Structure formats: structure tokens, C-alpha cells
């Protein structure tokens, strides 16, 4: 991410120089876009650093969600700095078109920027493929718990698409001699950034509010809990991501009414160890023992019902500590 930050700053400075020479609105929009991307990557790095702080009395569950907060700020910055400014500049140039000076400079800078952004996008795609598994791209962006990869992936796609819009705007302005096309290119960049910012904001808002673990993870937790003889079944389960690598697990488990308190406590400790072995990010586990009753409303929780087995039918011999 540090390399990408340095590259974006270099691209932004180059685009600003090209804008100063050509006066192109599309080049100015792309300059602001690159500056916004640089700021966004700095914010993501800051969020990752602050999320590693140890828990405190005021924040007993740690600071893992700071990564979600700073990713949400990225969406706000992308919209306010990138989208709004580019759209404003585009509308202004459409209403007051201007001639582009030295268009060759603009084309050279755009081609170089396309090459650099293509390399950056290729890297982001490669890293994403390593973690998304069989999920579609849409599902990965929608379900990812770590905010950095989806944010960088969307930013790189927007950056490369924005360069195409800028190139088209400058080319059409040179061909037709009408500066309106340059403004249209800047406006298109603004709309593009606004759409990306909206997608990021929606996804980061969901993570900030609190998302459960994936269905596969919840099934693994249920299987781990029910793998021992001390747990008859899981009555209900709740999970919550406190950060990308930190999961809170709360479950009500059915136990035998004949077990003593000491035996129940020992069984709960064993169940927690199994869960942590199956799902290492389950850092906080709270298990509540109860007696299973078929008529309980919460015993048919649809979130895990497919994974929950009925209580064992074989009677267990009461044990004494």
C-alpha cells in the first residue's frame, strides 16, 4: 500500500503539471482524482495502524473497527474531493469551453498514467483472487470483512476508467475543436467517482453497524460446538465482527440437566477450545448453557438451522465430578 501511495502522489504531480501546460479540465479532474486516491490510501494505512492498539477499559473489545471507520472516511473523501470537484469543473467547462494547449503533453501523461494504473489494478486483482476463493467479484466486495482490498480494487478500476474518460474528452476536443468535450470528460469522471464512493459508503456503513460472520464460518462454529459430548445442540448463535480479524461469538447451548455445575463449566471450556481451533479469529466467545426444549421459539433460528442437529437421542449416563 505504501508503494501505491507513492505512485499515486507521483502521478498526481505529473497530471497537475500537464494541466498547467494544457489547461484541460479532464486533466485537472484526473489530478484531483489521484490526489484523493493518495489521501485515501494514507487514511487506510492510518486506520490499520490505529486498529492494532490494545484494548482499554473504555474500549474493552479493542479498536478493530477503526479500519471500518477510516474506510468510510475514504468514501466521503472520494465523493467530496473527487466527485464533487470533478463534476463542478466539468459543468463549468461545458458552460464556458476553453481551448486545450499542447494536447500532446496531455496524451503522453495519460498514456503513462494508464500504464501505471493498469499495473496497480493487476496487483490488486492478483491479491483479491488469493482471498476471494470462488466468490464472484460482486460477492467479494459485498461480503469482504477487510475494507482495504475492496477499497483499493474499486479505486483502481475507477482510476483506469477515469483515464479513459479523460483521454476521450481531450481527443474529441482536439478533433472537433470544441472544448465542451473536455468538460464532458471531467463530468463523466465526477459521476464515476460518485458511484464508487456510494458503493464504498454503503459497504463500510454495514461493517460499522456490525456484520455477522459468513455462513460457512457460522457452520464451522456450530460444528465445533456440537463436536463434544457435553453439548447436545446449539439452540441459537450470534456472531459479530469486531474487526476483520476479530470475531465475537455468543451462543446458547443445550446441555444435560443431570450435569453438575463443575461438569458444565469444564464442558464449556472444552467447547470454547474447539471453536478457537476451528475459527482462529473467534477471540471472544460467550456460551450460555440451557436445557433444550423443542417448543422454544429461538431453537429454530434460520441463520444456523441448516447446521444445527437435533439433540442426541441416546440417553447419557449422569456423571459426578
Give Dmax (Cα) for the chain: 92
Computed over its alpha carbons, how large is the radius of gyration of the chain?
27
Candidates 31, 190, 4, 176; CA nearest to 110 is 31
What is the CB-side half-sphere exposure of residue 4 using CA atoms within 13 A? Answer: 27
Domains of the chain: residue spans and CATH: 2-209 (1.20.1510.10), 215-300 (3.30.70.1350)
Q: What is the pLDDT along the chain (321 residues), one digit of tens a residue?
A: 665 666 677 777 888 888 888 888 778 888 887 887 788 778 888 888 888 888 888 888 888 888 889 888 888 887 777 788 888 888 988 888 888 888 888 888 888 888 888 887 888 888 888 888 778 888 888 888 888 888 888 888 888 898 899 899 989 998 998 889 988 988 998 899 889 888 888 888 888 888 899 888 999 999 999 998 888 889 889 999 998 888 999 999 988 777 788 888 888 999 999 999 999 999 899 999 988 666 554 554 554 545 444 444 444 444 444
Neighbours of 245 (CB within 10 A): 14
Amino acid at each position: 500500500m505504501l508503494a501505491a501511495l507513492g505512485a499515486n502522489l507521483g502521478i498526481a504531480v505529473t497530471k497537475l503539471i500537464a494541466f498547467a501546460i494544457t489547461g484541460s479540465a479532464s486533466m485537472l479532474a484526473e489530478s484531483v482524482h489521484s490526489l484523493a486516491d493518495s489521501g485515501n490510501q494514507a487514511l487506510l494505512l492510518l486506520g490499520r495502524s490505529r486498529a492494532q492498539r490494545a484494548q482499554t477499559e473504555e474500549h474493552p473489545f479493542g479498536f478493530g473497527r477503526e479500519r471500518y471507520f477510516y474506510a468510510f472516511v475514504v468514501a466521503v473523501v472520494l465523493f467530496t474531493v473527487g466527485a464533487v470537484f470533478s463534476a463542478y469543473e466539468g459543468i463549468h467547462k461545458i458552460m464556458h469551453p476553453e481551448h486545450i494547449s499542447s494536447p500532446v503533453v496531455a496524451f503522453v501523461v495519460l498514456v503513462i498514467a494508464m500504464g501505471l494504473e493498469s499495473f496497480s489494478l493487476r496487483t490488486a486483482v492478483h491479491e483479491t483472487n488469493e482471498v476471494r476463493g470462488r466468490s464472484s467479484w460482486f460477492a467479494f466486495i459485498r461480503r469482504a470483512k477487510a475494507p482495504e482490498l475492496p477499497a483499493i480494487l474499486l479505486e483502481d478500476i475507477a482510476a483506469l476508467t477515469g483515464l479513459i474518460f479523460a483521454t476521450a474528452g481531450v481527443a474529441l476536443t482536439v478533433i472537433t475543436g470544441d472544448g465542451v468535450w473536455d468538460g464532458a470528460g471531467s463530468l463523466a469522471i465526477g459521476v464515476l467517482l460518485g458511484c464508487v464512493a456510494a458503493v464504498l459508503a454503503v459497504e463500510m456503513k454495514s461493517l460499522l453497524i456490525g456484520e455477522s460472520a459468513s455462513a460457512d464460518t457460522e457452520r464451522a462454529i456450530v460444528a465445533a460446538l456440537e463436536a463434544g459430548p457435553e453439548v447436545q445442540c446449539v439452540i441459537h448463535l450470534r456472531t459479530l465482527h469486531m474487526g476483520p480479524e476479530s470475531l465475537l461469538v455468543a451462543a446458547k447451548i443445550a446441555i444435560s440437566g443431570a450435569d453438575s455445575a463443575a461438569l458444565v463449566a469444564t464442558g464449556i471450556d472444552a467447547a470454547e477450545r474447539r471453536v478457537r481451533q476451528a475459527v482462529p479469529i473467534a477471540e471472544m466467545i460467550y456460551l450460555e448453557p440451557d436445557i433444550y426444549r423443542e417448543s422454544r421459539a429461538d431453537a429454530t433460528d434460520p441463520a444456523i438451522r441448516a447446521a444445527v442437529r437435533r439433540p442426541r437421542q441416546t440417553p447419557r449416563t449422569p456423571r459426578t465430578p
